[in-house]
Each structure stands twice: as C-alpha cells, then as structure tokens.
DNA sequence: GAACCGCCTAGAGCCACAAATATGC
DNA sequence: AGGCATATTTGTGGCTCTAGGCGGT
C-alpha cells in the first residue's frame, strides 16, 4: 500500500492534485498549493482509498471508502448487492480552504478548530473553494455536507429529496458562512460556491446549458488554514490508528450546504426529471481558469422544489485559461456511459430525448464559447501586443521583423 | 482486424524584454 | 527594520512544430 505523499515521501497521502498529478499529504498540499496564485487554483480532492492512485469521486457510505471512478465501477457496477450501496460524490477544492470550508466540502473531515487567520489568507486575501465543490446538490434531509448521494434515484412518485437543490434551504451556504464578505459582495461570492450546475439564481435564468460567470472578483477570506492542516498533520497518525481516513468520513452536520444549490436548476430539459446523474463538482474556479474541456461537460442536477425535476447542465466557463483547469473526472464521468445510478429503463426514452436535446444545445454553445486567456499583467500584454515578431517570435528592437501588430507591415 | 495514410486538432516551445520578485548590502 | 541596488524570474502573443486522434483505404 504505497500511498505515501509524493512530495515529502513521509506522510500518508490524502489528497490528489490533478494539476500536479500528485498524491499529497495535507501538509504538503498546503505547502505546495500556497506557493503561488496558480498553484492555489489547482483542484484537489481526496485520494481513492482502493487504488490509492486516482482521485476519489464518490464515497461509499456502506463500505466507508472513497473511490475513484474505476474502483467505484468495479466495486459497484457488477455486484448487484454492492450496486445498491449508497454513494456520495466527493467534492474538489482549490485554494487554501479553511477548516470550516473543508468541512463543508467534505463533511467527513474532522471538525477543525477555527481560530486565527491562516498564513495563506494573510498572504493572498483570496482563495477559492471550487464552485463545483458544491456542485452537488446537498442532501438537505441529512444536512449532508460535501457529499451528495449518487445512487438514490429519484422516481416519478418520489420526489427527489436528495441532490436537492432545494430553495427552501436557508440562504447561507457553508462556505458563505465562513467567508467574511461584505454584504454587497455576497452575490458575487455565491456563484463561486454554488453548484456549477446551480450557478447563481440569476444565472439560472438562461436556458443555456450554462452561462459564463465571472469569478474574478471573488476574494474570499479563509480562516484557520494553519490550524486545519497543522492539526491534520499532527493527528495523522492518530487518524490512522482510529480508522485512518475512514475516521474522517463520518457524517457531519453541514446544514446550510444545501443552499449551495439554490437557484441551481435551470429550466433546462424540462423532462420528467429523470435525469439522475449528479456530478461531483470539481472545478476550480476562482480563477476561473481551470475549466478544461471535460469540465464543461454537462452536469445534471435536480431541484426538489420543482414538481418535476428539471434537467440542468452546468459548468464553468468564462475567462478561463484552460491551462489551470484540470479535469476532476466528475464531468467526464457522465459521458463515459450510464453510471450505476442511472434511471430505470422505463424512463429512459423520455429522459434520453430531453437529455440528448440538452446535450446538443450544450455542445452548440460550447462551440461558440470562448475560453479566453486571463491576462495577469495588462502592461505586459500591451507590450506584447505591439512587439514586432518574426514567425511569431519576438525580435530584438531594431531587428528585421515580418510582423508588426501595429502596422501589419513587414520590414523584410 | 491490423496496418498504413492523410487530415485535423491541441498543446508545447520559442522569442525579447519590461515588470515583478528575490536577494544582498 | 527600512531603503536601495542588483540579480533573477515571470509573463506576454503569434507562429511553428509535433504528437495524437480519427476516418478512410
């Protein structure tokens, strides 16, 4: 079981960073990803406890293990008994989340102390919990936390109570509780913490699969980063002794998390709400630069407030520079075939029709969407924009050039 | 079904240099 | 501890090249 931190080679790895393709312990995760703004955007999630090499997408509450997609399929896809296991999606996060925020993302994470101000916060004054970390519709009935059930298939007779993006839930999401945001900025902050599928209330009006949303101005303040990871590190052995990572996965009351999905469901699809695939959230959004192509794949979500669940797609878009966005695997999972929790056959026709329609529209929009690169230094861009080139390469001032952005002329 | 070919796409790398950052005094 | 000078690193856009995917033969 060689699941040792790729960085320090000492501690047990608990977190998987897709951007770095590395398995890290919490301490190294903190160290590595607080290094700079780019690394802070890396989307991380828990490590699969079975293969210890892939990011976990779901947690089986029966077996109390976090599983990657493959292990989940292998463990639950074939066995009829195992396939009935209730599984919850596991969220990704980015930035330097506080204890409370990590607890929000992963309810199973211990109750970290919350005092003081993290170094990361002090340095950055910003961080981001991946908006799709709350992509899941929270289980309001259980105040389920950072996870959402994935195999509780809603039925016609049974309104989905899980996944629910219930708008009856109080207007504060877990992350919002932690963040010290001016009132005026709350609306700006919400989308970041809202299910991508959810977008913000206003963002759900468009019937497009999803709309771009701007995360740039969301500077979130976090607390207790030091305490969180310091404690995690100090207690790592204890955790192992007490059941290892499993001990982290106990249920925790995360009331308020539901609100992450408020307004999340667009009137997309409009079928009988049979789509049951709820994708875990994984994007990293604050910087909005982590949307990779797979990340923009459809994400489905339910709204319990709807008489019939609406199908909605969501994703992150916007001024993302594709570079940083790493696929969390969640979205793509949807495209890899029907998940174990797919709807009953009798509903497939209606569902597939609306779904294919929605997917078609989504793809259309995706084609037209621009993933603009985010420019960090406008002054440098301004210089680059006027710099003369030879075959695209910058040339020394005064040298012959074949392209002048200003004059579109050639000197040779 | 395997092998080969052409076409297409995505991504990496290159370039100069001002700005940003780090280091030393 | 703060200020200054110097050194090092970063980031910027257009073009080219290459690897890989895909479809056809």
Pairwise pLDDT comparison (A269 vs A22), residue with the higher score: A22
For residue A29, being part of any structural domain is answered with yes
pLDDT digits over A204-224, tens only? 333 333 333 333 333 333 333
Distance B9 C1' – A166 CA (angstroms): 41
Instruction: Tell me which residues from 338 to 377 on chain A have a beta carbon below 7 angstroms from nucleic acid strand C.
Output: 373, 375-377
pLDDT digits over A366-403, tens only? 444 444 567 888 888 888 888 899 988 999 888 888 88
Which residue has tokens 């230094």? A377
The whole-number pLDDT of residue A230 equals 34
Report whether pLDDT(A57) > 60: yes
The whole-number pLDDT of residue A49 equals 79
How many angstroms separate the CA atoms of A25 and A230, rounded? 11
Report whether pLDDT(A332) > 50: no
CB A335 within 7 Å, strand C: no
Count of domains for chain A: 1
Taking all atoms of strand B, which protein residues have CB closer than 7 Å?
A 292-293, 322-323, 377, 379-380, 383-384, 387, 389, 392-397
Helix (H, G, I), strand (E, B) or coil at A100: helix
Distance B3 C1' – A298 CA (angstroms): 37
For residue A137, being part of any structural domain is answered with no
Name the range with the highest mean pLDDT among A126-140, A150-164, A336-350, A362-376: A362-376
For residue A403, being part of any structural domain is answered with no
For residue A123, being part of any structural domain is answered with no
Pairwise pLDDT comparison (A384 vs A116), residue with the higher score: A384
For residue A102, being part of any structural domain is answered with yes
Mean pLDDT of chain A: 49
Among protein residues, the one whose C-alpha sits closest to the C1' atom of C14 is A392
pLDDT digits over A304-328, tens only? 333 333 333 333 333 333 333 333 3
Ranking A8-17, A52-61, A171-180 by mean pLDDT, the lowest is: A171-180
How many angstroms separate the CA atoms of A32 and A39, rounded? 7
Pairwise pLDDT comparison (A239 vs A373), residue with the higher score: A373
The whole-number pLDDT of residue A149 equals 36
Portion of chain A with pLDDT greater than 70, in percent: 24
Task: Give Cβ neighbours of residue A367 (< 8 Å, ≥ 6 apart).
Answer: none
CB A170 within 7 Å, strand C: no
How many angstroms separate the CA atoms of A149 and A199, rounded? 20
Is the separation of the CB atoms in A255 and A15 below 8 Å? no
- Find and list the nucleotides of strand B having atoms within 7 Å of a protein beta carbon: 11-20
For residue A33, being part of any structural domain is answered with yes
CB A390 within 7 Å, strand C: no
Q: If you ran DSSP here, which 8-state letter would residue A73 be given?
A: I
* Angle at the Cα of A84 from the Cα atoms of A79 and A89, rounded to 5 degrees: 110
Instruction: Tell me which residues from 27 to 46 on chain A have a beta carbon below 7 angstroms from nucleic acid strand C.
Output: 36, 38
How many angstroms separate the CA atoms of A228 and A226, rounded? 5
- Find and list the nucleotides of strand C having atoms within 7 Å of a protein beta carbon: 10-16
Report whether pLDDT(A301) > 50: no
Q: Order of strands across the sheet with A22-24?
A: A22-24, A15-17, A44-46
Give which of A281, A297, A283 is closest to A355, Cα–Cα.
A297
For residue A76, being part of any structural domain is answered with yes
Report whether pLDDT(A138) > 60: no
**Residue ranges making up the domain that contains A81:** 15-109
For residue A381, being part of any structural domain is answered with no
């Amino acid at each position: 079981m060689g699941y040792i931190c790729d960085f320090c080679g000492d501690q047990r790895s608990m977190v998987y960073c897709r951007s770095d393709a590395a398995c890290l312990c919490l301490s190294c995760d903190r160290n590595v990803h607080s290094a700079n703004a780019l690394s802070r955007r890396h989307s991380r999630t828990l490590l699969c406890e079975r293969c210890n090499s892939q990011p976990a997408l779901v947690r089986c509450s029966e077996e109390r293990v976090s599983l990657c997609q493959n292990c989940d399929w292998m463990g639950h896809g074939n066995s009829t008994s195992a396939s009935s296991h209730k599984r919850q999606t596991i969220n990704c996060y980015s930035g330097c989340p506080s204890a409370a925020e990590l607890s929000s993302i992963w309810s199973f994470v211990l109750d970290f102390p919350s005092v003081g101000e993290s170094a990361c916060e002090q340095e950055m004054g910003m961080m981001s919990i991946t908006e799709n970390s709350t992509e899941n519709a929270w289980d309001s009935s259980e105040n389920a936390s950072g996870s959402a059930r994935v195999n509780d298939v809603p039925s016609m007779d049974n309104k989905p109570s899980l996944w629910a993006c219930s708008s009856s839930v109080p207007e504060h999401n877990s992350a919002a509780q932690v963040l010290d945001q001016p009132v005026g900025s709350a609306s700006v902050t919400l989308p970041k913490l809202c299910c991508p599928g959810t977008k913000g209330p206003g963002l759900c009006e468009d019937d497009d699969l999803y709309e771009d949303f701007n995360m740039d101005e969301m500077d979130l303040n976090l607390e207790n980063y030091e305490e969180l990871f310091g404690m995690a590190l100090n207690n790592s052995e204890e955790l192992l002794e007490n059941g290892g990572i499993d001990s982290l996965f106990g249920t925790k009351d995360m009331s308020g998390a539901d609100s992450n999905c408020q307004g999340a469901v667009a009137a997309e699809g409009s079928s009988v709400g049979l789509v049951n695939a709820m994708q875990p959230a994984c994007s990293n959004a604050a910087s909005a630069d982590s949307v990779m192509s797979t990340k923009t794949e459809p994400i489905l979500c339910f709204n319990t407030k709807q008489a019939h669940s609406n199908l909605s797609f969501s994703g992150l878009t916007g001024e993302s520079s594709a570079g940083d966005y790493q696929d969390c695997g969640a979205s793509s999972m949807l495209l890899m075939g029907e998940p174990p929790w797919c709807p009953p056959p009798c509903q497939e026709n209606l569902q597939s029709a609306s779904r294919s329609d929605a997917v078609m529209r989504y793809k259309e929009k995706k084609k037209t969407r621009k993933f603009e690169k985010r420019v960090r230094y406008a002054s440098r861009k301004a210089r680059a924009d006027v710099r003369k080139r030879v075959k695209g390469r910058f040339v020394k001032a005064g040298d012959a050039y074949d392209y002048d952005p200003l004059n579109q002329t050639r000197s040779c």
